[in-house]
Amino acid sequence: MTVRSLPSSEQLAALLAVVDEGTFEAAARRLSLTPSAVSQRIRALESTAGQVVVVRTTPCAPTEAGTVLLRMARQQQLLADEAMAELNGQAGGARTFAAGRADLPIAVNADSLATWFVPALTEFAGWDVDLRLHVEDQDHSSVLLRRAAVLGAVTSDPVAVGGCSVERLGVMRYVPAAAPALVERHSRGRRIDWGALPVVRFNAKDDLQHRLLADHHVTNPPAHLVPSSQGFLAAVRAGLGWGMLPLDQLDDDFDSGALVRLGARAHVDVTLHWQCWRLDSDLVRRTSRAVRSAARALHR
């Protein structure tokens, strides 16, 4: 069906609230409306679009068409807030966003958040924004851009998502490490029994360890899941299993003997990129500058 007119700002605001809040009832509270009024706006939006835009699940989720409109809603809201902030400044008041504070939804992987990304957080702390941080694996964070959930993402994907620009940030180097006692228990002479040596994974998406295990023809070793960057490091230090650790996250673990490196030259390099909306927005530009500046700590 052909779309013959653009949705109203009220309809887009309803879509944004339903997706962000997860239910029509929560969206109604956010918009100071009744659930029935929110439902009417969504139905009107679907009538305008000629197709369903929200899947009525718990939580609610946008359809493919809804995702297109969701991106439009977020960008429209951002530009409207920035325009009002500029007008307020020209009128002699403080430069603040129309709704008080602007949302800053971005995605970053946990290891970056625990290391080089911290200076960007310090920068954001001085802004008139509410940071909406999505912690997602670097191999999957670009999906959040496609879903219009974020305006920018740290990702390993070098191919720009539609409507986005992409730039290379640098390289995170991961090295295989384990507690000495663990390695000793699972070694035969100088050879490690990789099939018996327990491994620590961040989550089901984490394949860094398996990239190295493939070189040893091992596919299914004992495995622990520890979905926290700091917790992951603590688990490896405690001897729960071995894992690929960001080199920049380690202190003097190798020098002190707290950890041993499994293979003098073994490592995995993950090239990171920054993808963000191609939008004439001061907030997007400032965010990109903050991320770019923080990424100077990455390997080149």
Beta strands 152-155; 164-178: pairing state: unpaired
Beta strands 152-155; 102-108: pairing state: parallel
Q: Which domains does the chain have, with CATH numbers?
A: 1-100 (1.10.10.10), 172-270 (3.40.190.10)
Judge whether residue 97 has pLDDT over 60.
no
Assigned token pair, 231: 């917790």
Mind listing the pLDDT tens digit for each residue in 224-246?
Answer: 999 999 999 999 999 999 999 99
Contacts by 85-89, CB closer than 8 A, 24 or more apart: 85/128
Mind listing the pLDDT tens digit for each residue in 14-25?
Answer: 999 999 999 999
Of 68-77, 88-97, 107-116, 269-278, least confident by mean pLDDT is 88-97
Within 10 A of 150 (CB to CB), how many other CB atoms are there? 24
Q: Where would I find the beta strands (DSSP E) of the chain?
A: 54-55, 61-62, 102-108, 129-135, 152-155, 164-178, 187-188, 191-192, 199-201, 223-225, 243-246, 260-261, 268-277
Q: How far apart are CA 18 and CA 12, in angstroms?
A: 10
Mind listing the pLDDT tens digit for each residue in 35-45?
Answer: 999 999 999 99
Task: Determine the 3-state secondary structure of 80 from DSSP.
Answer: helix
